[in-house]
Structure 1
Amino acid sequence: MAETKMNVQLIAHTQLSPHFWKELRQDCEEIFDKVIMKEISEGQAVALTAIRTCYSANKPTEIVAKEGAKYFGSKASDGGAGTDADRLFRHIFASKHTSTLEHISFTFAIEGVSRALLAQLTRHRVGFSFSVQSQRYVRMGSDDRSGGFDYVVPDSVKGSTVKEALFRAAMRSHQEDYDALRSQGVPAEDARAVLPNAAATNLVMTANLTALLSFYSKRKPGKGAQKEITELAEALRREVVAVEPWTSQFFEEV
C-alpha cells in the first residue's frame, strides 16, 4: 500500500490505413509528401475527408487526393491563421458540425487515479470507452501480488502534518479491514466494499475528438471541477495536442 500519482499516456490514435497511403501516393504525390513530412497530420486528412464528404461530389477515398491541394495548399480564405483547411476546421467547430470530428479517436493509458475520479469520469459516456482495473479480480490484500491498494492523496490534505497523518491512518485502517475480511474467507468481490474512494485504479480509455472537447469544456480548470479531474483534463489535452497540434485552438475555445 502506497501513495501514487497520476500518469497519462497516449498509446494509440487515428492513423491512415496502408491502402489509403498507397492510393494517396498514386493519386497525389504532393499531398502524400506533406503527410509524410508531417506538414499535414493524419488526423487532418481524416477530418478533411469526413467534412468534405458531406458537401462534395467526390467519393470519400478521393477527397484528400483531389481536394487536398486546394485546402492544404492555400492560405486561409477567412484571413485567419494557417491554410484553408484550418479555416474549414474553424468553420466546422464554430457551426457545431462537430460530428465530423468524431472520426478521430485517441486511446490513453490512465494510471494512478482515484476511484472518486473514476466515478466522475465515467459519467461521460457518449464517445467514450473504458476498460478499468477490477477490484473483484485484482486482489488488494497486503500479502497479495498488489501489495495492498495504492491511494491518491488530495491536494487539500497535502502539506499539513495533522491532515496527512489522519488521512494515512484512515488508509491503513481500510487496508487492515480488507485484510481481516479476506482472512475470514470473504471473497475479494465483497471485501472491496470497505476500500475507500481514494483507492487508486488504472484504466484504458478511448474517446473521439468531439467527446474529448466536450469533456474538457466541463472539467478544465476554472469550471468548478475537483482538482484531480482538472489535472486529468489538462493531461488529456496535452497528449492530444502533441500529436494533432491543429486541435489546440478548439481546446482553448470550448
Structure 2
Amino acid sequence: MKAQLIAHTQLSEKFYDSFDELDSVGNYDFNYLSQFDTTEGKLVALTAIRTCYSANKPTEIVAKEGAKYFGSKASDGGEGTDADRLFRHIVRSGHSSTLEHISFTFAIEGVSRALLAQLTRHRVGFSFSVQSQRYVRMGSDDKIGGFDYVLPDSVKGSTVKEALFRAAMRAHQEDYDALRSQGVPAEDARAVLPNAAATNLVMTANLTALLSFYSKRKKGRGAQAEITELAEALRREVVAVEPWTDQFFEEV
C-alpha cells in the first residue's frame, strides 16, 4: 500500500498578496505574514471561522484579525496561539463545517477491492477516481501482466495459509484468462476477480470528512487491518503539511 498526498488547499495569489496590503490597524505592511508561524490551511480555517462571527469581510479577516489570533498565545492556556485555541473550540463545539474548506488529494496505490468497498462508504466530503477493471485489462498477457493482490495479515507468515491463498489467486487469474481467450469482454470477465485484487485510486477529501473517517477506521475501533493502515497513512500525510491538525486526529 502507498498513500501519498499530491495536492492540498492553497491560497490564490491574489488573496495571498492582499495580506501585505493592509495590517491590523489599516497600514500597509509588505511583510505581514512573515512574522507569523502559520500554514495556508490555518489561514483558510481562520477566514472561514471568523466569517461566521466577524463584521469584517472574508477578504479582510486575515489582514485585520491575523495579528490578534496568530500573534498571541492561546487564551485558554493550551498550546499554540489564539488561532489554535479558536480551532480547538470550533472542533470541540461541533462547528467543524468550517474546516470543510480545507481539502487534500491523495494517490492511493495497491489497496484491495475489499478496502475500496469499505472506503467508498464514506461518501460525504469524499471524491473518488478509481482504476477500472472494465477498461484496464487484467489478463496475464495484457500490459498489466495479470492482476496484483493484497495478502491479508492473517495469512502472512504461515506457509500453509499463504500457499492456499496464492493458489486461489492463481485460479482466479486462470479463470479470467480463460474467459478472455473465449472472447468474453473484460467488463464481464472481471466478475471472477477476487476482493483481494489490488487497485489504485485518487481520492480527495476535506478535513472534516477525514477526521470523521479516521474516528471510525483508526486502530482500536474494530476496523479491518488494511483500512486501519490506510487511515494512519492519510493522517501522516495531512499532519506533515498541516501540523496543527494532529491534535484533532488524536481526539476523535
With the shorter chain as reference, the TM-score category is over 0.9
Large movers: runs of 4+ above 3 Å:
28-31
SS at match of 2:21: helix
TM-superposition CA deviations, 1:108-141 (whole Å, max 9, x none): 0000000000000000000000000000000000
Q: How does 1:109-124 map to 2 (within 5 A)?
A: 109-124=107-122
Q: Quick check: 1:78–1:87 contact (8 Å CA) kept in 2?
A: yes
Matched, 1:14 2:30: no
Provide, for residues 154-193 of structure 1, a one-character-per-residue CA deviation record: whole Å limited to 9, x for no partner: 0000000000000000000000000000000000000000
Instruction: State the SS of the aligned residue for 1:204.
Output: strand
Contact 1:34 1:40 survives alignment (8 Å): no
Does the CA contact (< 8 Å) of 1:21 and 1:32 recur in 2? no
Alignment match, 1:245 = 243
Matched, 1:66 2:61: no
Instruction: Work out which of the residue numbers 204, 222, 225 in structure 2 matches 1:224.
Output: 222
| Alpha-carbon shift at residue 30 of structure 1 (Å) | 4.5
Aligned equivalents of 1:84 and 1:32: distance in 2?
Answer: 16
User: SS of 1:27's equivalent?
Assistant: coil
- CA distance in 1: counterparts of 2:116 and 2:63, whole angstroms: 42
Note the 1:88-237 alignment, pairs <5 A: 88-237=86-235
Relative to the length of structure 1, the TM-score reads: 0.96
Post-superposition CA distance 1:183-235 (Å, at most 9, x none): 00000000000000000000000000000000000000000000000000000
CA distance in 1: counterparts of 2:228 and 2:35, whole angstroms: 35
SS state at 1:206 partner: strand
CA apart distance, 1:24: 1.1
Match of 1:54 among 49, 52, 74: 52
TM alignment of 1:18-29, pairs within 5 A: 18-28=13-23, 29=30
| Matched length | 246
Counterpart of 1:102 in 2: which secondary structure?
helix
User: Root-mean-square deviation (CA), in Å?
Assistant: 0.8
Report the Cα distance in structure 2 between the residues aligned to 1:31 and 1:201, rounded to whole angstroms: 46
User: How far apart are residue 31 of structure 1 and its match?
Assistant: 3.6
Cα–Cα, structure 1 residues 34 and 197, in superposed 2: closer, same or farther, change >3 Å? farther
Q: Unpaired runs of 5+ in structure 2? A: 24-29
Question: Are 1:219 and 1:230, in contact at CA under 8 Å, matched by a contact in 2?
Answer: yes
Paired residue secondary structure (2:19): helix
SS in 2 for 1:65: helix
2: distance between equivalents of 1:241 and 1:175?
39
Identity level (%): 85
Q: Does 1:86 align with 2:87?
A: no
SS in 1 for 2:20: helix
Partner of 1:3: none
Deviation at 1:25, TM superposition (A): 1.6
The equivalent residue for 2:27 is: none
Task: Name the counterpart of 1:32.
Answer: 33
Gaps of 5+ in 1: 1-5
